[in-house]
Amino acid sequence: MSLNTIEINRQMNRFDSHDSVWLFGYGSLIFKADFPFIERRPASIQGWSRRFWQGSHDHRGTESAPGRVVTLVPEEGATCHGMAYLVTPEEFAHLDHREKNGYLRLATDITFDDGGVHEGIVYIATIDNAAYLGPASEEDIARQIAGARGPSGPNSEYLLELARALRELGKHDAHVHAIERHLLAL
């Protein structure tokens, strides 16, 4: 159950004439920047919460045993902390491939820790994509993560790296850190 979003994302041309574009990362993009960037800064976006509700059939799981990775869900008053990268538009060919399993580019305002705001892009897997798994208890999510492994490695590695990266940023995410506690207790 996957949805290849590469072609859909290539149609987003809002930033094509720009020399550089800010990209907001809230999951593996925080700890695994496998692309060249001009600048990297801690940042946040408003009105979104990070949730382990997206299935990973191509990186941290398989078709028969999908892993769980994060996406964003709208939540009034919420702030999602992460990392912003200033990239050239050419990097989106690689990023579209990396985020191809249901993630779509969305233009959003990115707020930097120093208070500045700039429009940029975030990838979000919405509830209508084929790989969306939806809500589950944090304990059930931890169990699924514990048993999943894909071409990019164990799903548990993704969770633990994300929890560590958020701590290094000085940011607590109740959802991520609760799942981490359940995973470590297994």
Q: Where are the beta strands (DSSP E) in 33-177?
A: 39-56, 67-87, 103-112, 117-125, 149-150, 153-154
In the numeric block, the tokens 């902390």 are attached to 81
Are 152 and 59 contacting, i.e. CB atoms less than 8 angstroms apart?
A: yes
Catalytic position from the list 90, 99, 119, 168:
99
139 catalytic per annotation:
no
- Tell me the sheet residues that pair with 23: 85, 121
Task: Kindly state the tokens that stand for 157.
Answer: 């590695």
Beta bridge partners of 112: 43
* Residue numbers annotated as active site: 99
